[in-house]
C-alpha cells in the first residue's frame, strides 16, 4: 500500500462555489472523499491537506519524507511560487502536479508553471479525474523501474523506458483526441503489464493540439520518438501499439521505421464519420483537416497487424476498425470484443487487453 499526501493550495477550499463553469460543482470535502476512495481502489492510502498559506504547503512537502508520493494542486502558486518549487526540488519523493482546469487554454499567465519541470508529471484539464490519474501514475511509477529519455528539446519530446526480459520490445502511442490534456500516463497500465510479461516498453509522448502539435509536427514527433525508442529497445524491431487517436499515427510512421508488428486499439481513423464523440470530431478537424492519416490513404504496413475494438465503444464506434480492416485489404486480423467500451482496454484485466497480450505472445 503506497502512502500519498494530497495537497490543495489557495482558493481550492472554495471549490463548488468558485467559478463553477471552470472548476465544476464538486466541493473540496467531496473531492477529498473521492481522492481517498480512488486511492484505496488503486492501492494507496491518501492523506489530504488544503491550505491557503504558501508556508504551510512548503512545510507539508518538507515533512512528506514518510510518504511514497505527493499529489499537489498548488492553485495560483503554480504560476509564481519559486519557494514551493524549491521545496518540491528539495525532497526525494515523486510529486505529481494536478490542475482541474485546462491552465493552457485560459489566461496567458496561467500557462506558465514554475513547478512542472521538478514534478514527475503534470496533469491538467481533466477535471477532478486528474487526481485519480495522478494517483495511478504514482502507483505505476512504484511498480517497475522507469527511465525518461528525451528525443527533442520540447518538454513533450520524451518517452519512458521500462525494462523487459530482452526478448521483445513495444512502443506505445497513447490517445486522447490529439489534445494536450491527455498524455502518456493513459497507456502506463499497458507498460506496467507488459513489463510483468517480460516485454520492454517505450511509452511515447509527442506534441499535441495546445502544445505545438498538429498533423505535421505530431507525426514527425511520433516518427522521431519511434526511431529513438527502436534503438533503445532493439533488437528485434519493436511492436507498435496505438490507442484511439494514437492508432492512426502508428501506421503512418511505422513504414519508415521498420517494425515487428502493429496493434491498433479502438482507433479513430475518420473523426468526421458518424458516431465519433463530439470533442473528438472537433479535435479531428483541427488536427488533420485534409484527413492525411486516414488508413485508406496509407500504404498497408509490411508486418502483422491486429485491429481491436470494444463492441460497446461510445467514444469511437467499432465501425472505424471495421472500415480500417477493410482498407488494409485483409492483411489485418480484426477482433471486436463484446461488452467492452473505449477505455476498458486500458485495464490489463479486460478481455480486449488479454486478446492483445495473447496476440503478442503468438508473434514469431
Ligand atoms: C488551478 C488553476 C490555477 O491557475 C488556479 O489559480 C487555481 C486552480 C486548477 O486546478 O485548475 O487556483 O490550479
Q: Which of 103, 125, 129 to mutate to test the pocket of ligand 1 (most atoms within 8 A of CB)?
A: 103
Per-residue pLDDT of 49-103, as tens digits, reads 999 999 999 999 999 999 999 999 999 999 999 999 999 999 999 999 999 999 9
pLDDT recorded at residue 301: 80
pLDDT recorded at residue 229: 93
| Rounded Cα–Cα distance for residues 318 and 316 (Å) | 7
Q: Which of 73, 97, 98, 123 to mutate to test the pocket of ligand 1 (most atoms within 8 A of CB)?
A: 73
User: Which residue's alpha carbon is at the smallest distance from atom 13 of ligand 1?
Assistant: 75
Q: Which of 18, 80, 100, 129 to mutate to test the pocket of ligand 1 (most atoms within 8 A of CB)?
A: 100
pLDDT recorded at residue 234: 75
206 is annotated as an active-site residue? no
Cβ of 3 below 6 Å from ligand 1 = no
Q: Out of 62, 79, 99, 154, which one is annotated catalytic? A: 99
| Rounded Cα–Cα distance for residues 282 and 271 (Å) | 8
Cβ of 352 below 6 Å from ligand 1 = no
By DSSP bridging, strand 158-162 and strand 199-204 are antiparallel
SS3 content of the chain, % helix, strand, coil (to 5): 40, 20, 40
Strand partners of residue 200:
169
Q: Which residue has the cell 486500458?
A: 346
User: Going residue by residue through the chain (364 aa), what tens digit of pLDDT does each one get?
Assistant: 999 999 999 999 999 999 999 999 999 999 999 999 999 999 999 999 999 999 999 999 999 999 999 999 999 999 999 999 999 999 999 999 999 999 999 999 999 999 999 999 999 999 999 999 999 999 999 999 999 999 999 999 999 999 999 778 999 999 999 999 999 999 999 999 999 999 999 999 999 999 999 999 999 999 999 999 998 997 788 999 999 999 987 777 776 667 899 999 999 999 999 999 999 999 999 998 888 777 666 667 888 999 999 999 999 999 999 998 988 877 899 999 999 999 999 999 999 999 999 999 998 7
| Rounded Cα–Cα distance for residues 291 and 304 (Å) | 24
pLDDT recorded at residue 256: 65
Q: Out of 23, 131, 151, 269, which one is annotated catalytic? A: 23
Give the CA count within 13 Å in the CB-facing half-sphere of 330.
0
Cβ of 73 below 6 Å from ligand 1 = yes
| Rounded Cα–Cα distance for residues 287 and 180 (Å) | 12
Ligand 1 closest atom vs CA 99: 10
Cβ of 110 below 6 Å from ligand 1 = yes
pLDDT recorded at residue 294: 72
Using CB atoms within 10 Å of the CB of residue 152, give its burial: 0 to 12 exposed, 13 to 18 middle, 19+ buried.
middle
How far does the centroid of ligand 1 lie from the alpha carbon of residue 9, in Å?
A: 9
99 is annotated as an active-site residue? yes
| Rounded Cα–Cα distance for residues 82 and 145 (Å) | 30
Output the DSSP codes for 245-299: GGTTHHHHHHHHH--SEEEEES--S-TTSTTS-HHHHHHHHHH-TT-TT-GGGSP
pLDDT recorded at residue 251: 73
Amino acid at each position: 500500500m503506497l502512502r500519498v499526501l494530497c495537497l490543495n493550495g489557495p482558493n481550492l477550499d472554495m471549490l463548488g462555489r468558485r467559478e463553477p463553469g471552470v472548476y465544476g460543482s464538486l466541493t473540496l470535502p467531496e473531492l477529498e472523499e473521492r481522492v481517498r476512495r480512488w486511492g484505496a481502489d488503486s492501492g494507496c492510502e491518501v492523506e489530504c491537506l488544503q491550505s491557503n498559506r504558501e508556508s504551510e504547503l512548503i512545510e507539508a512537502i518538507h515533512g512528506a519524507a514518510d510518504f511514497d508520493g505527493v499529489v499537489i494542486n498548488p492553485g495560483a502558486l503554480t504560476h509564481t511560487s519559486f519557494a514551493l518549487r524549491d521545496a518540491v526540488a528539495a525532497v526525494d519523493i515523486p510529486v505529481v502536479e494536478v490542475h482541474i482546469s485546462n491552465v493552457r487554454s485560459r489566461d496567458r499567465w496561467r500557462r506558465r508553471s514554475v513547478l512542472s519541470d521538478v514534478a514527475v508529471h503534470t496533469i491538467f484539464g481533466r477535471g477532478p479525474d486528474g487526481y485519480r490519474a495522478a494517483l495511478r501514475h504514482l502507483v505505476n511509477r512504484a511498480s517497475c523501474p522507469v527511465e525518461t529519455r528525451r528525443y527533442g528539446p520540447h518538454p513533450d519530446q520524451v518517452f519512458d523506458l521500462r525494462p523487459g526480459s530482452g526478448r521483445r520490445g513495444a512502443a506505445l502511442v497513447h490517445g486522447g483526441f490529439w489534445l494536450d490534456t491527455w498524455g502518456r500516463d493513459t497507456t502506463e497500465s499497458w507498460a506496467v503489464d507488459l513489463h510483468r510479461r517480460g516485454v520492454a516498453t517505450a511509452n511515447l509522448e509527442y506534441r499535441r493540439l495546445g502544445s505545438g502539435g498538429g498533423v505535421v509536427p505530431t507525426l514527425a514527433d511520433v516518427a522521431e520518438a519511434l526511431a529513438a525508442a527502436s534503438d533503445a529497445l532493439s533488437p528485434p524491431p519493436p511492436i507498435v501499439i496505438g490507442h484511439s487517436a494514437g492508432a492512426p499515427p502508428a501506421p503512418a510512421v511505422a513504414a519508415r521505421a521498420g517494425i515487428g508488428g502493429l496493434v491498433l486499439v479502438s482507433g479513430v481513423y475518420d473523426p468526421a464519420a458518424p458516431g465519433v464523440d463530439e470533442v473528438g470530431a472537433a479535435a479531428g478537424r483541427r488536427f488533420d483537416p485534409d484527413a492525411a492519416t486516414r488508413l485508406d490513404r496509407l500504404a498497408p504496413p509490411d508486418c502483422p497487424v491486429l485491429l481491436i475494438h470494444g463492441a460497446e465503444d461510445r467514444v469511437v464506434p467499432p465501425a472505424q476498425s471495421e472500415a480500417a480492416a477493410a482498407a488494409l485489404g485483409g492483411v489485418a486480423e480484426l477482433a471486436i470484443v463484446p461488452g467492452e467500451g473505449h477505455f476498458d482496454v486500458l485495464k490489463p484485466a479486460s478481455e480486449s487487453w488479454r486478446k492483445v497480450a495473447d496476440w503478442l505472445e503468438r508473434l514469431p
